Structure formats: structure tokens, C-alpha cells
Structure 1
Amino acid sequence: MDQPTMIAALERHWAASDAGDFAIEHEIYHTDAVLDYPQSGERIRGRSNIRESRTVQPNQKRFSVRRIVGDGDLWITEYILTYDDVPSHVVSIMEFRDGLVAKETQYFAGPFNPGPSRTHLVEKISSEPL
């Protein structure tokens, strides 16, 4: 797929994720896709299991994409995932095969207060989409 087509597919995926449209959200995955959550040590195999893991998740979720970058078969989305009004910064790394996600790895980080030792060196940034 060319870049505009890939970006459109990813935007559709994240919009469906935000809307809770599990059917459209999971169209982007190969049937044998693998999803890794390194921080919790979890691996989920197969599109149907990935979808089920998300449908049974009880929290209210919102997705706010900050940016999508990539080329060829490797695409990265940086977004803010809000579970029950608590934001986490997330990086999703998607590896594609034949136009569908074969492997995704997601890294999560919660907000934290800035270090006082560097206060004089920094400017405050927003966590809103770019």
C-alpha cells in the first residue's frame, strides 16, 4: 500500500477504536496477528482473540491520535488512550504483511510530574493531538 492509503487505513482503525466499533477496528489485522504488551508481559495471538480481549475490557476508553508515521510495512502511532478519564501516552508499533497488521506492540506510559532539576530548561507541552 502507498503512504496515503496506509495512513487512511490507520486513521479508520483508530477512529473505530475511539468509537467502540470493534468490527471496523479489527479489520486491519491478519487472522493470525500477534499483539504484544511488553509492560504486562502479555501476548495475544489471533485477530479473534485480540478483538475479544478488547470487547471484554470494562473501562470506558477514548483514543486521541497525536501522529502517525511510517513507511512500507512498519507504522507507528503515538496517541493518548484515556481509560475512565485517566490518560496514558501510548506508542503502537504495527508491522504489516500483505496490507494487514501481522504484529503490533503497544507501550503505555502514564503522566508524571517534571523533574525539578530541569525546570529552568523546559517548556510545558500539551498532551493534545498535534
Structure 2
Amino acid sequence: MKAWMVGTGVAVMVAALVACESNATNQDAAKPAGGVTPADVQVGEGKFAANCAACHGVRGVGTKQGPPLVHKIYEPNHHADMAFHRAAENGVRAHHWEFGNMPKIEGVTPADVEQIIRYVRWLQREAGIY
């Protein structure tokens, strides 16, 4: 009887953790920005479309291959701009999501990444992330 109660307690705790994890990732995702992209971030939008959108989705909402960048995890106080630079230059080991490691992005210059960051930060502001 005691073993059954312990087993049931463990199962309930595991289910609660899974539900919390699921809610944290799904409910925290923001709506994508709508409307016209401002002229000052359109270059970044193009660079994002060419180099990032295949995995991170159109307007940064994520795909089955990569996480949404329009998410509170990627707001500037948690992932500063330098984190985006390092990810593009070196790749990054998976640590928040279960999409696998991100490879480095070949052919993208630091100036390109700056433009991409400006676009992603605009998307995040439009979605109310910060």
C-alpha cells in the first residue's frame, strides 16, 4: 500500500512538471508582429528570411526545426545581442528547447547579424515581449 502511494505521488509530480514545462513554453510565446515592417528594419527582415526563417519561422514564431525568437526567453535581459552574435558565429548547444544544437551560420557577417538583431528586437517589442 505504501509503495503504491509513493508511486502515485511520483506519477502526479511528473505529470505536474510536464504540464508546467508545456505551459511555460507554449503560453509564453508571443503573437507575431502584424502589419508593415518599418523601413529601418527591412534589411534585417530580408537577412532573417534568408538565413534564419527556415528554422525560426517567418517573423520569428518558430518551426518544428527551431524555437520562436519572439518569446520572452530571448528578450534582451536574458539573451543579450551578443548571444545572437555568438550563436550565428559559433553555433550554440541546445539549452532551452529540444530542437537540437544550432549550427553556426556560414556566410553571415557581424554586420548582417546586427541587422537581424534589430529586426528580431522590433518583432519582440511589437509582440509586447519588452
Q: Which has the larger radius of gyration?
A: 2
Between structures 1 and 2, the one with greater strand share = 1
Fold shared per TM-score above 0.5 = no
Q: TM-score, normalised by structure 2?
A: 0.26
TM-score (normalised: structure 1): 0.26
- Higher relative contact order, structure no. (Cα contacts within 8 Å, ≥ 6 residues apart): 2
* Higher percent of residues as helix: 2
